[in-house]
Structure 1
């Protein structure tokens, strides 16, 4: 047990709670946190497996809110492109892609926060495009929930519907990319010691997040989601700069 990093586990619990409140899953926080303690490929493997428990919890707790139409429009292209992204992780420089993702999240969330009248048309084309981008990002960077969150925010879904649909899509993505990461050799035996802890964290964090979400008014939900996405982008960018500074 002396090999367990308990600070990492506490931060993972926090990531799960906030990810549940935001509605786009814990990976957007878990991946930057994990990169502080593990190599990038190990984080990809841990994230995929961790999400099984957290998404199963969300599906159970929010099961009555599923939007089947969005599940198909966003979920199917996400599954297809998570495979492509996962296979490309062995070929593409991850630091460059993380930087692009961070800048994209910061820029897009600021646009929606500062220009509240700006609306993405909630149509099938935009839903499919969001699914492609979020799936590809999830496979390549380990996190695509924030992009999916921005896409789903355009549809102004009730918060329980938002979370349930996002969790179902995430579950399909994680089921697919786990096999790809296993094939790539990213699921390491020495990291498996964390799996029982992460499984419990997924259940407990989701439950806590749902309880907190009960007290958040619907009209504030979209703004909170966008602020969390902005924070994710800033955290990712700071982490990248810190890594470059320490290696220079």
Structure 2
């Protein structure tokens, strides 16, 4: 990336971190399409994994008072397993087709929960495991699985601080696992490493701003915001590939 575009990239990355924090499902769902304008797809995967590690550490520290241990295990373990599978196969599959599928899935589910406000999915182990497996697979293949994890947690109607802390802990395990595989796939390049300290600062600042915003919105507003963001992400995923 040319240095003249660096300020634009940093500002957009900060916005992605704020939205990812307020939405509760991490910045990668916004950061990946942003980074695609500046880097090739494989470099985006490598940078996102490293950036997201610091992003999730910030959320774990700032939201450490609340997380659901049961969901961390039942959703997190399948996510970590399947992100490894997705990361390995990312070099063989067409990301455009996968992005269409992901976009359609997110649009359908977010509209369902927005139209039927009282609809909720019981936080049973089976439902959490399915959501974890799908989010992990998406994270490995496309660089982002937070939206699928977000729709799962939103369906469970989890309290907002617990939502964010739980999602961040799971995401940390996911990012650590895929970082190793992306490294061996050759997705991490020395020429991009100068961005890591910059993005660490961005992740901390963006998480702090996001937390301040969350302190001023209600639980129902939070859930609606999550679902609307996921709907927007779904449309962007489809339209960006047309």
Tell me which residue corresponds to 2:47. 46
Q: Structure 1 residue 9 and structure 2 residue 10: aligned? A: yes
Moved more, 221-230 or 113-122: 113-122
Note if contact 1:63-1:164 (Cα within 8 Å) is conserved in structure 2: yes
Residues 186-223 of structure 1: CA distance to partner in whole angstroms, max 9, x if unpaired?
01111112111111001000000000110011121111
What is the RMSD computed on CA atoms of the aligned residues? Answer: 1.2
Contact 2:28 2:144 in 1 (8 A): yes
Contact 1:42 1:187 survives alignment (8 Å): yes
Q: Number of paired residues?
A: 241
Partner of 1:245: none
Please give the secondary structure, in 2, of the residue aligned with 1:65.
coil
Structure 2 SS opposite 1:64: coil
Is 1:238 aligned with 2:220? no
Deviation at 1:4, TM superposition (A): 5.4
Q: Does 1:187 align with 2:195?
A: no
Deviation at 1:3, TM superposition (A): 5.9
Determine helix, strand or coil for the equivalent of 2:193: helix
- Measured against aligned partners, the alpha-carbon deviations of 1:123-161 in whole angstroms (never above 9, x if no partner) come to 110000000000010001100001001111122111100
- For residue 86 of structure 1, what is the aligned residue in structure 2? 87
CA separation of 1:4/1:192 partners in 2, compared to 1, >3 Å: closer, same or farther?
farther
State which drifts further: 16-25 or 105-114.
105-114
Q: Find the counterpart in structure 1 of residue 108 from structure 2.
A: 107
Asked whether the 8 Å contact 2:84–2:181 carries over to 1, the reply is: yes
Larger mean Cα displacement after TM superposition, 202-211 or 101-110? 101-110
CA–CA distance in structure 2, aligned partners of residues 63 and 117 of structure 1: 29
TM-score normalised to structure 2 length: 0.97
Where does 1:131-170 land on structure 2 (aligned, <5 Å)? 131-170=132-171
Q: Do the aligned partners of 2:95 and 2:142 also contact (CA within 8 Å) in 1?
A: yes
Contact 1:83 1:139 in 2 (8 A): yes
State the distance in 2 between where 1:49 and 1:205 align: 16
Which residues of 2 match residues 214-225 of structure 1 at below 5 A? 214-225=215-226
Aligned 8 A contact 2:66 2:162 in 1: yes
* Residues 7-37 of structure 1, C-alpha deviations (whole Å, 9 max, x = no match): 1111110000000000000000001111111
C-alpha distance in 1 between matches for 2:231 and 2:192? 30
**SS, match of residue 16 in structure 2:** helix
Query: Equivalent residue of 1:29, what SS?
Result: helix
**Rounded Cα–Cα distance in structure 2 between residues aligned with 1:217 and 1:72:** 27
Tell me which moved more, 134-143 or 116-125: 116-125
Q: What is the SS of the residue equivalent to 1:240?
A: coil
SS of equivalent to 2:91 = coil
Contact 1:4 1:194 in 2 (8 A): no
